[in-house]
Amino acid sequence: MSTSGKFVGKHAVITGAGSGIGRAIAQRFAAEGAHAHVFDLNAEAGEEVAKEIRDAGGEATSASVNVAEESSVNAAFAALPRLDMLVNSAGIAHVGNVLQTPAADFDRLYQVNVRGTFLCLQAGVEKMIAGGGGSIVNLASITSKVGIPDRFAYSMTKGAVLSMTLSVARDFIDQGIRANCICPARVHTPFVDGFLAKNYPGKEEEMFAKLSASQPIGRMGKPDEIAALVAFLCSDDAGFITGSAYDIDGGFTLLR
């Protein structure tokens, strides 16, 4: 693991870090010298990522955390020695317009994407105040800014994430806390592969190409590219940035 030293001595929590974008962020933070606290509902997946980081020479621990449960979140944050950086990456998706969204699915997305982010922000901000400040990055989405077909419930949750980001940035700017969010378009993760296999059996390559082409740059984003932006926003290099929402979308919003 090549360490720049930018985050040496700092502790970072990354939720949903057992796979995909969260995993890439945890690995990037550890490569920058941080102690990465890998939070994931799946204990085995979280520990696997933490072990990968340790085996590469970095510092990491894992915890099984259900972000939708207050007691689980509070216990995990209480166990931290300190908190300098928080990345709310945990999230789930749903496909369907308002008529195709059962109330149970709407509630399920709210519980994880909205309530989960809220609970982690609440516990994280309290921890950061005690430590003299910190930096927060929430994963919103381009769906929080533009209308995407058949993403009613998902768009609702990501709009809430963007709004919560702005509120935290405004309310705690005087206590040394910065809060920003990023708005990715499609990123190639195991979730995408699973979605295509489930919904388009036998047509995975065709649909993958179609989804990739929907972004002017001609491809999906890479988890490492998302991680690089998150690391920048959490670093001192971004010390004058708070309350901002950064598109990282391969030019997708150029079409809107």
The residues carrying an active-site annotation are 154
Answer whether 112's CB lies under 8 Å from 91's CB: yes
Q: What's the angle, vertex CA 146, arms to CA 141 and CA 150, rounded to 5?
A: 85
Question: How big is the chain by its Cα radius of gyration, in Å?
Answer: 18
Tally the residues of the chain: 256
